[in-house]
């Protein structure tokens, strides 16, 4: 009986040791593959979303969202080129980007910055944590395949986000970027109305939301008016990354 007990215990001990070793290496593999946490805008006050830059400097950031279509994006890029703006920030749906690699290439060549809207352009507040991770993984793969390196900015589709969205984004080294001025240009309220929205609301540090999808038909004509006004008032356009590199960037706590 004693001999049987010893043999049985020894076998169990080997099994336990083997399971422990496998678990250890699995944990190591998961740790290595997991994206590093980026906590710059996740403080003791809670997760943060960036919406405005340093108000003491006369900088503004023109941002353009694109999720579908190809005609308007080309027009917007041409207008920006003619206006000598080479540092706007384009937030792209990765599914759109992989269908229009030539436009993505033009955006990069002209010097503009690229951020992501995720892959599918579906509200992240309607997704599970796993679905968000899968979407961001797909987005990352697309941009790497297109040669777009170091995408660090994430604008949640439709501007909808919560605490969990920001937590997931931070694991992918992504800063969540909202806006301080919404032109609602996608509604096509009129070229002058788009311009007036910017004129009446712009202050130093603002991040301005515009669109370059085919729905925003009036945006190309509004851009020269906006840029002319901003220049007359002494504003300088900067990319979002340049805007938020300052320590006085304004953020909102997300509950």
User: Residue 16: what pLDDT?
Assistant: 41
Q: Find, among 146, 130, 161, the residue nearest to 90 by Cα.
A: 146
The arithmetic mean of pLDDT across residues 157-182, rounded, is 96
Whether pLDDT at 218 is above 50: yes
pTM over 0.75: yes
- Out of 10-24, 128-142, 168-182, 194-208, which region has the weakest mean confidence (pLDDT)? 10-24
What is the percentage of the chain residues whose pLDDT exceeds 90? 76
Please report which confidence band the pLDDT of residue 47 belongs to, taking 50, 70 and 90 as the band edges: low
Report the alpha-carbon distance of residue 203 to residue 210 in Å, rounded: 16
The larger pLDDT score, comparing residue 34 to residue 116, is at 116
pLDDT in tens, 85-114: 999 999 999 999 999 999 999 999 999 999
Phi, psi (deg, nearest 5) at residue 100: -135, 60
Cβ contacts of 240 within 8 Å, gap of 6 or more: 50, 61, 63, 89, 113, 115, 153, 177, 207
The arithmetic mean of pLDDT across residues 29-50, rounded, is 45
For residue 251, what are its two tokens? 């953020």
Report the alpha-carbon distance of residue 197 to residue 218 in Å, rounded: 14
User: Residue 48: what pLDDT?
Assistant: 82
Contact 34, 171 (CB under 8 A): yes
Query: Which residue has tokens 């309220």?
Result: 189
- Out of 16-25, 97-106, 134-143, 162-171, which region has the weakest mean confidence (pLDDT)? 16-25
The arithmetic mean of pLDDT across residues 143-157, rounded, is 96
User: Residue 250: what pLDDT?
Assistant: 52
Q: Chain-wide mean pLDDT for the chain?
A: 84
Whether pLDDT at 60 is above 80: yes
Whether pLDDT at 42 is above 70: no
E strand or H helix that includes residue 140: helix 129-145
Report the alpha-carbon distance of residue 20 to residue 15 in Å, rounded: 9
Please report which confidence band the pLDDT of residue 149 belongs to, taking 50, 70 and 90 as the band edges: confident
The arithmetic mean of pLDDT across residues 178-195, rounded, is 98
User: Residue 251: what pLDDT?
Assistant: 53
**Cα Rg for the chain, rounded, in angstroms?**
23
Whether pLDDT at 38 is above 50: no
The larger pLDDT score, comparing residue 163 to residue 10, is at 163
| Domain range 42-253, CATH architecture | Alpha-Beta Barrel (3.20)
Domain boundaries, the chain: 1-34, 42-253
Report the alpha-carbon distance of residue 176 to residue 158 in Å, rounded: 13
Task: For residue 127, give the 3-state DSSP assignment.
Answer: coil
Secondary-structure breakdown of the chain: helix, strand, coil percentages, each rounded to the nearest 5: 50, 15, 35
Report the alpha-carbon distance of residue 230 to residue 133 in Å, rounded: 38
Task: For residue 56, give the 3-state DSSP assignment.
Answer: coil
């Amino acid at each position: 009986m004693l001999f049987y007990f010893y043999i049985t215990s020894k076998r169990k001990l080997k099994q336990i040791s083997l399971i422990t070793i496998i678990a250890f290496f699995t944990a190591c593999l998961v740790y290595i593959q997991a994206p590093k946490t980026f906590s710059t805008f996740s403080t003791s006050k809670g997760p943060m979303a960036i919406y405005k830059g340093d108000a003491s400097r006369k900088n503004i950031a023109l941002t353009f969202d694109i999720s579908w279509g190809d005609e308007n994006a080309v027009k917007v890029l041409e207008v920006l080129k003619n206006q000598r703006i080479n540092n706007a920030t384009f937030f792209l749906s990765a599914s759109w980007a992989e269908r229009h690699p030539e436009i993505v290439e033009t955006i990069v060549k002209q010097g503009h910055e690229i951020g992501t809207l995720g892959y599918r352009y579906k509200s992240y507040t309607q997704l599970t944590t796993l679905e968000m991770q899968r979407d961001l993984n797909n987005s990352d793969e697309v941009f790497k395949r297109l040669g777009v390196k170091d995408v660090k900015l994430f604008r949640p589709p439709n501007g909808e986000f919560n605490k969990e969205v920001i937590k997931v984004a931070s694991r992918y080294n992504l800063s969540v970027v909202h806006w301080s001025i919404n032109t609602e240009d996608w509604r096509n309220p009129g070229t002058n109305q788009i311009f007036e929205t910017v004129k009446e609301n712009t202050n130093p540090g603002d991040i301005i939301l515009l669109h370059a999808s085919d729905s925003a038909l009036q945006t190309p004509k509004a851009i020269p008016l906006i840029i002319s006004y901003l220049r007359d008032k002494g504003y300088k356009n900067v990319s979002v990354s340049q805007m938020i590199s300052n320590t006085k960037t304004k953020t909102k706590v997300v509950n």
